[in-house]
Amino acid sequence: MPKPLKIVSWNINSVRLRAPNVEGFVAAEKPDVICLQETKCQDGEFPLKAFKEMGLGHVLMRGQKGGHAGVAIASRLPLEAADTPDLCREGHARCIAARLPSGLEIHNIYLPAGGDVPDAAVNDKFAHKLDFLDRLGPGYKKLKKGVPRILVGDLNVAPHENDVWSHKQLLGIVSHTPEETERLEDARKTAGFADIGRLSVPDEQKLYTWWSYRAADWAAANKGRRLDHSWANKDALADTKVDSFRVHLAWRGGWKPSDHAPISVAVKV
């Protein structure tokens, strides 16, 4: 019986700076596919040689000059580019998708952070984020039916009360405002995806994937948020090992870490 496919999602916050972190993670965890967000490089600057040496030599990438965007998918298996919906009104490098030989599609999304002020009338970054969220559900609903899809990425929204360290204190903070959380959940349901993280971890338990750089001791403070997500549609859900969902907490620490921990899930293909 074939081994389940291990799919990882990680906002790496500069793939060139943190390629050694990825190398260490790959050596320890042996993922089959790794989806990166916030790569912060153009395609010609991507450290492709390093990924080939890691055994993830099949790479699709979408970078851009400047800014904090950029997404990539690296795999030990061959990849074929797959279509994504038109989600980003600014044309940023925030969406990429790959099709594996089995037919499984993996979609990698880096949703806009939205700035600091949760008011679309005065903060265009927040308006952009809400627009992206409004496009997300209808966009995926229009894609071809009957195709198994896994959607992962830094969606920059913590939708549930226990996805943040304090629901009451963060209701007015970007990433946990009702405008964002309701839109994200509406998008997920409209598109027909299940939330693997919350299928694995009960709603009453805290679940975080991101801890701010601003905390003097992020681990002791543990003021986290669940900004990184793994979703599966009904065609992929039967083959998704929900109990395999994991937040790789140790990789939030160590040498020059990203402020996000990688997350992983296994899928039978």
Question: For residues 249 and 215, is the Cβ–Cβ distance under 8 A?
Answer: no
Buried b (16+ CB within 10 A) or exposed e, 231-246: bbbebbbebbebeebb
Q: Which CATH class is domain 5-267?
A: alpha beta
Pair 68, 79: CB distance under 8 Å: no
Q: What is the largest CA-CA distance in the chain?
A: 56
pLDDT of residue 67: 82
Spatial separation of the C-alpha atoms in residues 208 and 187, rounded to whole Å: 21
Task: State whether the Cα torsion 21-26-29-32 is positive or negative.
Answer: positive
Annotated domain spans of the chain: 5-267
pTM, entire model: 0.98
Whole-number mean pLDDT of the chain?
Answer: 97
Above 90 in pLDDT, residue 1? Answer: no
Q: What is the CA radius of gyration of the chain?
A: 17
pLDDT in tens, 64-107: 998 889 999 999 999 999 999 999 999 999 999 999 999 999 99
